[in-house]
Structure 1
Amino acid sequence: MPFNPTPILGGTVREFYWNWKKKPVTVVYEVLGEGQPILLLPAFSSVSTRGEMRGLAERLAQRFQVYVVDWVGFGQSSRPGFRYGPALYHAFLKDFVRGVFHQPVVVIAAGHAAGYVMQLAPSSVWSWIVLVAPTWRGPLPTAMGEHRWFYNLLRFLIRLPLIGQLLYWLNTTPAFLGWMYRRHVFADPAHLTKALLDEKWRTTQQRGARFASAAFVTGGLDPVRSRSQFFDYFQPPLPAPVMMVIGEQTPVKSLAEMEILAHFSGVGIQILRLPGSLGLHEEYADQLADGILPFLNKYLS
């Protein structure tokens, strides 16, 4: 069950009841504002929570009705000891969208959420798609290459009661989280305040948090296995208008993937370049809102 689901965006907290392999799951999401609906999907990470979409949600809620979800296994949603993988999240996103919305909806997805959004796009559930710093490969495979046997071993070890908890603790200390944010997530270290880092750390300390987190870090939540599979999602004709937002300080390997998609895949997606890195949706929320609102106004007028 979720831990004390409370408003963190100033909106109304709702719960979506779901089942995965006959096991009940409660997904927490928050709604704020009025008007046409927009769905915000936070990035997968060890500290994933709908709270990272706060600034963007508050800006968009001035005109739209904004839905912000905590993924299964993260935030205030249930965190059971599943063997988390793409099939779970593909199924969840499909059921959530069809259960909550009754017409195609605008979706703004950060990081790894991009692959899940594009996989669902042919179902005509999206009216417009914004992908913010889209990624398809987890941190360890990006840094170390494709050593699946090793990542499978890590996931097995982290599931163990004692050694797993120790390994997870070592990778979620405030010092390690701060290093991760400065290296990959935020472009300006001055934006990483102690209060923000404490909030991130508390997110990692919830019961059951290590299972989905370990799956993401080791590549177990990668929506595809190769760049070509990811690019296949963008072959024309696109099922909905797509904008891709690229952070100017994105880490080299991730930036190269985005630039290839932007320039050499031959697809007609709109490109928006902003300050920031993989966490630009949180760090530069106002600039992101300023960049996408003209397009939202055009498509939703």
Structure 2
Amino acid sequence: MVALLLTGAALARGTFQTPVITSPLRPAVNGEQRFLTLPGFGRVGYYADPRGEGRPLVLVHSVNAAASAYEMKPLWDAYAGTRPLYALEWPGFGQSDRPDVPYTPELMARALRALVAELGTEVDVVALSLGSEFAARAALDDARIRSLALISPSGLGEPRGSSQEATAENRAARLYRILRAVGTPLYGLLRTRPSIEYFLSRSFRGPVNAGLREYSLETSRRPGAQYAPLSFISGLLFTPDAYRELYSPLRVPVLVLYDRDAFVTFERLPLFVQQPGVRAVRIPGTNGLPQFEKLPEVKTALDAFWPRTP
């Protein structure tokens, strides 16, 4: 896979170069755009719709070459006005700053904890894919995160790379250094329309959502858009054994929504659901983005889950 990406990077120096767009990025969802300052990083963007009653709901997207809060737009639209609603954009993505700095799981977890602190109240969190690992990490250190709903979460398959965490982390660091050497042309390939359409198609059972496709193209062409994805591609944003480090220590109610996924596996999900307070609901006919293809089923599962959370 890496060899193919590096070959593509060489090609990207020519035909596959894509322009960087410096105009403001349009909003991903229909909410007020707000920012918080994360010390040592910069501004982190989030959307807010404080209407409604009950415990605030925080939505967090996945991480990929073109991630943004648009990935959570179906859920945003479904819950807007019914309860206070917020959508965080991880550092390096969407409306957040995109500096050339190290991107780590702890940085992402800090951003979510900072948003919870900004809100100053208990929250429920819905996280997508790798965002689930960051959300779990944040929940382990912040008791105000009262529940987690994880959509197609990473980290429930077999441990990544090696059972020795230092070995896996060193391997990711070495790969990151290699990718940094070809970062701009490599990312130039990843953000082309054919590349984005291909990777999105693997997360849809049916046609790719056109709005998500177009927004992915837009957000991936902003200045600095390559820095966080290069950390993702190298593996630096993954926890080598997320189940042991992040999921099994959780003591808050957890709902896992899943079916098939081209990028993650769920071998340890049966073990996870044996923990008190952990439930799993399969959303058949989906490939990792059930909120786009099976929104009624996803909403039904979520609405049944939250009344059980203290």
Q: What band does the TM-score fall into relative to the shorter chain? A: 0.7 to 0.9
Distance 1:258 1:205, change over 3 A: farther
167 and 70 in structure 1: CA distance in 2 versus 1, 3 angstrom threshold: same
Identity of aligned residues (%): 20
CA distance in 1 between counterparts of 2:23 and 2:103 reads 19
Q: Provide the rounded CA distance (Å) in 2 between the counterparts of 1:254 and 1:289.
A: 23
Q: CA RMSD in A?
A: 2.8
Q: Which residue of 2 aligns with 1:198?
A: 214
Deviation at 1:52, TM superposition (A): 1.2
Cα distance per residue 1:200-248 (max 9 Å; x no partner): 12221111111101111221111344543344334xxx2x2211111x2
Question: Which of 241, 257, 260 is the equivalent residue of 1:245?
Answer: 257
The answer to whether residue 23 in structure 2 is matched with residue 9 in structure 1 is: no
SS in structure 2 opposite 1:47?
coil
Question: Which consecutive residues of structure 2, in runs of 5 or more, have no partner in the other structure?
Answer: 1-21, 162-166
Contact kept in structure 2, 1:151 and 1:218, CA below 8 Å: yes
Map Cα deviations across residues 100-148 of structure 1 (whole Å, 9 max, x no partner): 222211111111122222223243111222111111389xx68xxx876
What is the DSSP-based 3-state SS (H/G/I as helix, E as strand, rest coil) of the residue aligned with 2:37? strand
Is the CA contact (8 Å cut-off) linking 2:116 and 2:122 kept in structure 1? no
* Aligned with residue 155 of structure 1, among 176, 183, 186: 176
* SS of residue matched to 1:209: coil
Supply the AA of the counterpart residue of 1:217: I
Q: Which has the higher helix share?
A: 1
CA contact (8 A) 1:6 1:13 kept: no
Q: 1:126 to 1:114 in 2, by over 3 A?
A: same
- TM-score when scaled to structure 1? 0.81
Which of 97, 111, 129 is residue 92 of structure 1 equivalent to?
A: 111
- 1:175, CA displacement in angstroms? 1.5
Could you tell me whether the CA contact under 8 Å between 2:152 and 2:264 is conserved in 1? no
C-alpha contact (below 8 Å) 1:41/1:113 kept by paired residues = yes
Q: Which residue is 2:129 aligned to?
A: 111
> Are positions 1:164 and 2:164 aligned together?
no
TM-score (norm 2): 0.79
Equivalent residue pairs, number? 278
Contact 1:40 / 1:108 at 8 angstroms: preserved in 2?
A: yes
The answer as to whether partners of 1:131 and 1:244 remain within 8 angstroms in 2 is yes
Deviates more, 1:149-158 or 1:55-64: 149-158
Check conservation: 1:5, 1:13, Cα contact below 8 A.
Answer: no
Flag the 1:195–1:298 CA change in 2: closer, same or farther, 3 A.
Answer: closer
Structure 1 residues not aligned, in runs of 5+:
none
Tell me if structure 2 keeps the 8 A contact 1:107–1:128.
Answer: yes
